Amino acid sequence: MQPHKIVSREEWVAARTDLMVREKEFTQAREALSRERRELPWVKVDKDYVFDGPKGEITLGELFKGRPQLVVQHIMFAPEWDAACKHCSFWADGLDRTVAHLAARDTTMAAISRAPLAKLEAFKRRMDWTFDWVSSGNNEFNFDYAVSFSREQMDKGEARYNFGTTPPYGDELPGISVFYRDETGDVFHTYSTFARGLDMMNAAYQYLDLTPLGRHEEGLPYPMDWVRLRDQYQPAPVQASCCHS
């Protein structure tokens, strides 16, 4: 870390207050953007998606659990993989304690991946997760919502990730999609976000952004190279004492 300017408490408060003006502007801009997000038009879901769940087959409409809103976390887990993507798991680690709060606001959370249910269940036990997680291995859901791409799409350069703004770097990619179910049972796709649009949903990153070192990803082969599955981090080395006996 580069040497940092050290000031009195009074100077720090003045500098912090100046920065807060920018933070308030950012908050207001974020609130305005959220309003625009809610005002987006919807697309009716015409396909009858059926997923493989712990209690058998379950439809997209049934995933709502009687609530009007459904947030889907697209967790990267291809059928041939033995574990979910470590980066998606970084996000998924924060889902369990969020589910109850979302439910209190008429919103259900579920994860969907293409891997067979047996693999999802085994990995879920390993990670000690309890959120709903179903397999879309027998339908086109992941492909239709642009988080999975066929080999043909990849070879022909036809894969369009993040609405064509981000080059796809694999045939399985992360995302979040949102759906609404009306009183007649019709389901509508209202929103999706991908790539850096997922940052705001990762609490660990938001906390790191408050610290002097930030995400501390400079110099890595790629920004998230440091991330591991939660049970794969090595214990932090003990810092040497500055004093000797």
Confidence at residue 62, expressed as pLDDT on a 0 to 100 scale: 98
| Domain presence at residue 170 | yes
| Domain presence at residue 15 | no
Confidence at residue 234, expressed as pLDDT on a 0 to 100 scale: 86
Cα radius of gyration (the chain): 21
Structure tokens at 87: 């980066």
| Domain presence at residue 74 | yes
CB 120 within 8 A of CB 98: no
Q: What share of the chain is helix, strand, coil (3-state, %, to 5)?
A: 35, 20, 45
| Domain presence at residue 239 | no
Please identify which residue in the block is written with the tokens 């579920």: 110
Structure tokens at 6: 């050290």
| Domain presence at residue 100 | yes
The total of other beta-carbon atoms located within 10 Å of residue 89's CB is: 23
Query: What is the count of structural domains for the chain?
Result: 1
Confidence at residue 206, expressed as pLDDT on a 0 to 100 scale: 96
CB 131 within 8 A of CB 111: yes
| Domain presence at residue 154 | yes
- Domain hosting 90: range is 49-199
Q: Which residues contact 63 (CB under 8 A, 6 or more apart)?
A: 51, 70, 72, 108, 110, 132, 134
| Domain presence at residue 147 | yes
The total of other beta-carbon atoms located within 10 Å of residue 170's CB is: 13
Specify the CATH number for the domain of residue 100: 3.40.30.10
Per-residue pLDDT of the chain (245 residues; tens, 9 = 90+): 678 999 999 999 999 999 999 999 999 999 999 999 999 999 999 999 999 999 999 999 999 999 999 999 999 999 999 999 999 999 999 999 999 999 999 999 999 999 999 999 999 999 999 999 999 999 999 999 999 999 999 999 999 999 999 999 999 999 999 999 999 999 999 999 999 999 999 999 999 999 999 999 999 999 999 999 999 998 754 444 444 33
- Provide the CB-side half-sphere exposure for 181 (13 A, CA): 17
Confidence at residue 236, expressed as pLDDT on a 0 to 100 scale: 53
Structure tokens at 198: 């997922």
Confidence at residue 242, expressed as pLDDT on a 0 to 100 scale: 41
Q: pTM for the full model? A: 0.92
| Domain presence at residue 145 | yes
